[in-house]
Amino acid sequence: MKQNIVEKILSSHIREGQPVKGSEVGIRIAQTLTQDATGTMAYLQFEAMGLKEIKTDISVSYVDHNTVQVGFENSDDHKYLQTVAAKYGIVYSRPGNGICHQVHLERFGKPGTTLLGSDSHTPTGGGIGQIAIGAGGLDVAVAMGGGLFYLTYPKVYLVNLTGELKPWVTAKDIVLHMLSILTTKGNVGVMLEYGGPGVKTLSVPQRATIANMGAEMGVTCSVFPSDSVTKKFLKAQGRENDWVELKADKGAKYDRVIDVDLSSLEPLAACPHSPGNIKKISELEGISVDQVCIGSCTNSSLRDMLTVAAILKGRKVSDTVSLGIAPGSRQVLQMMARKGALADLLDSGARILESACGFCIGNHFSPKSGGVSLRTSNRNFEARSGTADAQVYLVSPEMAALAAITGKITSPSKSGIDYPQIKEPSSFLIDDSMFIKPSPALKSTEIFRGPNIGEPPKNGPMPESLNGAVQIVLGDKITTDHIMPAGARLKYRSNVPKYAQYVFENIDPQFYKKCLDNKSAGGHNVIVAGESYGQGSSREHAAMCPMYLGVKAVLAKSFERIHSANLINFGIAPLVFKNPSDIEKIKPGDKLTCRAWKETFEKGETVKLLNERSGETIEALCSLSPRQTNILIAGGLLNHTTKEDKCLK
């Protein structure tokens, strides 16, 4: 049977289920990664399940999100992560070593394998030929302990690349073009496979940029072939032995083919406040810019940094612009220093930021009030930058550099600057000294727990009946940043009772109090929303904190993949309106009840919710596998795993 790349990788890792589109399969996970914003809770859950060792080929704990150490909380979490990694056999990447996706691509990513990460941009690994999937920390904890990861066997779309990029047109423009086609919703259960003659013209870092922002389309992952370009990259990283050839069989089938002529593309931007709001740079020319941020897991490779340095060399940053540059890894930063690129950036007036996520999650370097910020990162959700009214545009490093010089969005043709030609190095500087690798001696390490580190919150089993109070009614495209603010609030990630105080903080500051009051009175809480609920980050806190507040159901028009799985993992039912217009029949404060709540899920029937205010019955669907049903009835994956041990094989 002729197979595409996705089918080849999945078939070698499936341990449960059949490769039938739309059915659930369980796959073995070869590698995992966590980062500190999600990893602390993942390892607390790993401990809570009573697991004693890592059973993947390799698991890596990165510290890259909350590296700003104001107060004790972040430093305490970092120490916890280091000690728990030592005890259980996890590789620990110290703060300053770089952004997890960039570093993992450099040092650990392996073609033909599976990677599960507690970060939604884990699909970056697809640039090197991995099936790399973002998930909630609890799913990652189970995989680290040898359990399977369950997903819907996907549809596979082929993105057929032809031609070659023109100067000033980049990998970022390819993925922004893809966002203009697929948008940010409606792609649940899809994996993208990139192929065609144009693939050969793209380096691994360019491929990784494209795979990274597949997350913004809502696809499960994006995968590139493992070819001579991949082999060259791995050889330059001193890892040629990790290379295997990976290509689709001639005549392999796909559910959809999307043709993209690279030579026809031009520089693009995602305008406020969505990665799917795509316009041409030529349409935006002349907009004044206050801030430029270059870096993030999307565009912080050595190639990106050297290109920016070449554009800025001998030029000065506009006195109306604040330019911050964050190289993606210590390796990139070291090589920039040795090549003189770092000096060129400093001479231009750029501010060099830590090799971390920082500005991308609004953790620092936020723009001024109402400021226009051009960023090379992957998300521009409202207020994500840390400034509520900022106008954030997503662009390539090249467009960002031009704007830094001119003080406005500038078309390359009007810049008067020649496009620099940057070649990939034949060898990278290899210095793995910032990794602390497992050893028998470290297994006796005592785990450090600071006062901000609590136990994972526990949920009770599904109640027999639902006595739900609608605490909030929301619109479309509600992101996990809307649900759980990032930035400075992330320091409470290990302290759920504290972090839960900020659920929907920027939409309804009273949400927390209303939920707790109703929960204390013995009631249940319900969230109502429109399409594509749960876009964005894999942060399971967006399900965990509502669970702590007594939320038993989210009723929406549609859900994004990771968040839907996280809701189930924490015992919250992701209900989909059978009739989407029924959302208009619900108001905040309404009581939605279902006497046969638990029985309905046990029988797999349509959920019927009585609105006590209006007397109308609202029907909802909850399409679950038998495994998911059991998890939901148990009150979540932690309860289900510790009680029945069915997730660990």
Calpha distance 85→89 (Å, rounded) = 6
Of the pLDDT bands very low, low, confident and very high (cuts 50, 70, 90), residue 647 is very low
Give the orientation angle of helix 302-312 with respect to helix 330-339, to 10 degrees. Answer: 40
DSSP state of 552: E
Decide if pLDDT at 27 tops 50.
yes
Task: Yes or no: say if 478 and 535 are a contact pair by the CB < 8 Å rule.
Answer: yes
Alpha helices (runs of H) in 204-360, residue ranges in sequence order = 204-212, 214-217, 228-236, 281-284, 302-312, 330-339, 341-348
What are 42-83's pLDDT values in tens digits?
999 999 998 888 999 999 999 999 888 788 888 999 999 999
What's the mean pLDDT in 198-218?
A: 97
Q: Which of 141, 43, 139 is nearest to 84 (CA)?
A: 43
Decide if pLDDT at 560 tops 60.
yes
Q: What is the pLDDT of residue 430?
A: 97
Q: What is the pLDDT of residue 643?
A: 60
Calpha distance 571→370 (Å, rounded) = 39
Q: What is the pLDDT of residue 649?
A: 43
The two tokens of residue 197 are: 């003659």
Please name each of the domains of the chain with its CATH number. Answer: 5-264 (3.30.499.10), 268-414 (3.30.499.10), 466-644 (3.20.19.10)
What are 122-131's pLDDT values in tens digits?
999 999 999 9
Decide if pLDDT at 316 tops 50.
yes
Is 185 or 521 the better-scoring residue by pLDDT?
521
Decide if pLDDT at 645 tops 70.
no
Calpha distance 196→435 (Å, rounded) = 37
Strands 617-621 and 573-577 turn out to be antiparallel
Q: How many CB atoms lie within 10 A of CB 486?
A: 26
pTM of the shown model: 0.93
Is 455 or 151 the better-scoring residue by pLDDT?
151
Helix (H, G, I), strand (E, B) or coil at 177: helix
What are 236-276's pLDDT values in tens digits?
999 999 999 999 999 999 999 999 999 999 999 999 999 99
Q: How many CB atoms lie within 10 A of CB 579?
A: 11
Mean pLDDT of the chain: 95
The two tokens of residue 514 are: 């209303």
> How far apart, in Å, are the Cα atoms of 361 and each of 67, 136, 208, 429, 519?
12, 17, 20, 28, 31
Q: What is the pLDDT of residue 646?
A: 44
Task: Tell me the DSSP string of 343-371.
Answer: HHHHHHTPEEPPSSSGGGGTSS-PPPTT-
Q: What is the pLDDT of residue 52?
A: 86
What's the mean pLDDT in 297-304?
A: 96
Of the pLDDT bands very low, low, confident and very high (cuts 50, 70, 90), residue 191 is very high
Is 632 or 536 the better-scoring residue by pLDDT?
632
Calpha distance 471→473 (Å, rounded) = 7
Of the pLDDT bands very low, low, confident and very high (cuts 50, 70, 90), residue 492 is confident
Please name every residue paired with 256 in a beta bridge, in sequence order, or none if there are none: 157
Task: Yes or no: say if 400 and 314 are a contact pair by the CB < 8 Å rule.
Answer: no
Neighbour-count burial for 352-371, b at 16+ CB within 10 Å, e otherwise? bbbbbbbbbbbbbbbbeeeb
Alpha helices (runs of H) in 20-124, residue ranges in sequence order = 36-48, 73-88, 100-107
What are 383-432's pLDDT values in tens digits?
888 888 999 999 999 999 999 999 999 999 999 999 999 988 999 999 99
Exposed / middle / buried, residue 85 (Cβ in 10 Å: 0-12, 13-18, 19+): buried
Q: Which helix (H) or strand (E) holds 61?
A: strand 58-62
Tell whether omega for the bond before 273 is within 30 degrees of 0, i.e. cis. Answer: yes
What's the mean pLDDT in 350-363?
A: 90
CA atoms within 13 A on the CB side of 566: 31
Strands 435-436 and 91-93 turn out to be antiparallel
